[in-house]
Amino acid sequence: MANGQWFPSDWPERIRALADGTLTPVTPRRAATVMLVKDGPAGTFVHMLRRRASMAFAGGAYAYPGGGVDPRDDERPVRWAGPTRAWWAQRLGVEETVAQAIVCAAVRETYEEAGVLLAGPDPDSVVGDTTGPDWEADRAAVAARELSFAEFLDRRGLVLRSDLLGAWTRWITPEFESRRYDTWFFVAALPEGQRTRNASTEADRTVWIRPREAAAGYDKGELTMMPPTIATLRQLTPYATAAEALAAAPGRDLTAVLAEARLTDDAIVLTWPGHGEFTKHIPIPSGGGPA
């Protein structure tokens, strides 16, 4: 392939079924993912993980820490710093309780998969060290969904630092996919004193890499990525520092990006509005079946 773009093998058949009206789209699950950035000697670096090849979804692809929203996190009051829940609700285009759950998911997944916690004992600080047996026990309980993130924060007496996050973009998995997510992408700077680690059971490798270098690896076919990942990497390349990227977040358009598919005489044409580089032509054999 010309680059490292990843497409599930069953897409052609499912796209035809959607066009024929024989496929009912799955309701997308709300999710959040975080582009964790830091300053380095050669500019801004972003934290990425490589999903294990054995994973059913996007195995072997590079991505950011992220995962689904836990509905329990919209029910429990959370000690909160930064923009209000009402502000986040307007920014994300959802109800206040849903906004809290989405922001909680972003902070939780960063902690679960990278060991980085955007929370502190008061509104003006963050924890300096999340290592040790007691921290790991709590992290494992949160990852296993034995403990909601809101309960974890309450147990630890921590304040969620929503001001350390910037909403960046929103992508919705195509209607023809069997697993669908309505994902909000956030950007956040690595807090001083904390370090990333591979805490995810879903990843076999983690790296700090410059967005431009990661994008070049994708273009050469060396790094596999899904469209939202490479798109956001390209969007990060103009920013020389983490602070610049965070400062740009409030002005970002959060209109959801949703792939569209149409049939021609000999191909299925797959497009992502506003992202022409991902246009895909999937040939249809003369017999009419999927390629």
What is the pLDDT averaged over residues 12-23?
A: 86
Residue 160 in domain: yes
Residue 55 in domain: yes
**Helix/strand/coil for 232:** helix
Distance CA 99, CA 262 (A): 33
- Strand partners for 206: 49
Residue 159 in domain: yes
Here the CATH number for the domain that contains residue 43 is: 3.90.79.10
Q: Which domain holds residue 116?
A: 11-283
pLDDT at 246 over 50: yes
Query: In one letter, which amino acid is 14?
Result: R
Least trusted range by pLDDT, from 41-45, 215-219, 240-244 = 41-45
Residue 2 in domain: no
pLDDT at 1 over 80: no
Distance CA 255, CA 78 (A): 27
Residue 288 in domain: no
Residue 291 in domain: no
What is the pLDDT averaged over residues 244-265?
A: 92
Q: What's the pLDDT band for 291 if we cut at 50, 70, 90?
A: very low
Residue 71 in domain: yes
- Report the number of distinct structural domains present in the chain: 1
What is the pLDDT averaged over residues 192-201?
A: 82
Q: What's the pLDDT band for 290 if we cut at 50, 70, 90?
A: very low
Angle at 153 between CA 148 and CA 158, to 5 degrees: 170
Residue 67 in domain: yes
Distance CA 211, CA 216 (A): 9
pTM of the model: 0.91
Give the pLDDT score at 191.
93
Per residue in 54-113, pLDDT (tens digit) is: 555 556 789 999 999 998 888 788 999 999 999 999 999 999 999 999 999 999 999 999
Give the pLDDT score at 132.
85
Residue holding tokens 């996007």?
58
pLDDT at 20 over 90: no
